[in-house]
Amino acid sequence: MSTTSTTPPIRFTIQSALIWTAFIAVACWTALSCHTFYEIFGEFLSGFMLIIAVALLLTTPIVLASPYRREWLLAATGAMILFSLSLASLSVRLGRLHAEAARVVKYVDAFHFQYGMYPDDLSGYTFADSSLQPYFSYDGHRNGAEFALYYHPIQHSTVRHAYTPKNGYWLQEEE
């Protein structure tokens, strides 16, 4: 009775080392995307992203021992490229929103300094990038004594970035 294995043995060649390195790079890429994912989609969904990153990292040796390792690598890389395209677009918009938010806060503070009150709305503010205006909402009477500025790269999101004079900037998740 023979006990030969049907899977080929793992050969350590330059090609296999490159495949291992590429697979680990995809896992690290996934892990690094978690912070951006958190800022855009919040704590709950970024937890799933973190689980995927850890699972990918932990299963790397098993997948790389598989005779279909190239197909797995192509699938993982393709999925990350598709995922990263939309994430990169939202991340760029979020960066522009952060810069615009700083200008809005500066305007509101100057208005408060000049008139002793916060503006009721942002109708007097001219956006540096008018395409970002729909991503902002403003409350000039938050808690009766301060203003609140909210923004997010997706218009209708349960997660939004917020600013108040008392708390500064933070990420607010609605329940």
**What confidence tier does 100 reach under pLDDT thresholds 50, 70, 90?**
very high
pLDDT confidence bin for 132, thresholds 50/70/90: very high
Q: Could you report the per-residue pLDDT of 57-72, keeping only the tens digit for each?
A: 777 777 777 778 778 7
- Token duo for residue 85: 């395209």
Contacts of 143-152 spanning 24+ positions with Cβ under 8 A: 146/118, 147/108, 147/118, 147/119, 149/101, 149/104, 149/105, 149/108, 151/97, 151/100, 151/101, 152/40, 152/94, 152/97
Alpha carbon separation from 48 to 1, 22, 35, 164 (Å, rounded): 47, 22, 12, 30
Q: Taking residues 4-9, report their average pLDDT.
A: 64
- Give the predicted TM-score (pTM) of the model: 0.72
Average pLDDT over residues 26-33: 75
Q: Is the pLDDT of residue 148 over 80?
A: yes
Q: What pLDDT sits at residue 5? A: 60
- Helix/strand/coil for 148: strand
Average the pLDDT over 23-37 and give the result.
77
